[in-house]
């Protein structure tokens, strides 16, 4: 089971951050997130982008990065409704709206609160 979760985390991360976003291109599957779900998306985006940035800077190892990405997947799975395609599209929009420095500052300010507000256990 843990191996399957790891593969899911990496797959969702690749889908979330590997594709180009198309803001403004509404499709039949487009979903608008507000309130608590939007906050969960922001937390997930903050954790995922920070994990990648810290790993790229060699400040954390691959294991720590994968744990953070796994937390991201759990937040999305437990606290955001919709299909994975809709969640992925929302993560792309969130990623494109926030600069890397702004997202890293979000991490400093809200990461602990995110884990309390959006538990993964």
pLDDT in tens, 92-110: 998 898 888 998 898 999 9
pTM reported for the whole predicted model: 0.73
Q: How far apart are CA 100 and CA 79, in angstroms?
A: 24
| Phi-psi map region of 23: left, alpha, beta (phi>0 left; psi -120 to 50 alpha) | beta
What integer pLDDT is reported at residue 25 of this predicted model? 45
The string of pLDDT tens digits covering residues 8-42 is 444 344 444 433 334 444 454 678 999 999 999 99
End-to-end Cα spacing for the chain: 15
- Residues 50-96 pLDDT 10s: 999 999 999 999 999 999 999 999 999 999 999 999 999 999 998 89
């Amino acid at each position: 089971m843990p191996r399957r979760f790891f593969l899911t985390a990496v797959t969702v991360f690749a889908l979330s951050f590997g594709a180009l976003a198309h803001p403004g291109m509404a499709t039949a599957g487009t979903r608008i997130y507000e309130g608590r779900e939007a906050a969960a998306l922001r937390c997930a985006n903050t954790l995922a982008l920070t994990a990648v940035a810290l790993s790229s800077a060699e400040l954390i190892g691959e294991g720590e990065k994968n744990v953070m990405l796994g937390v991201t997947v759990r937040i999305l799975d437990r606290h955001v409704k919709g299909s994975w395609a809709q969640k992925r599209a929302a993560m792309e929009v969130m990623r494109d709206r926030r600069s890397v420095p702004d997202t890293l500052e979000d991490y400093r300010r809200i990461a602990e609160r995110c884990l309390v507000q959006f538990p993964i256990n």
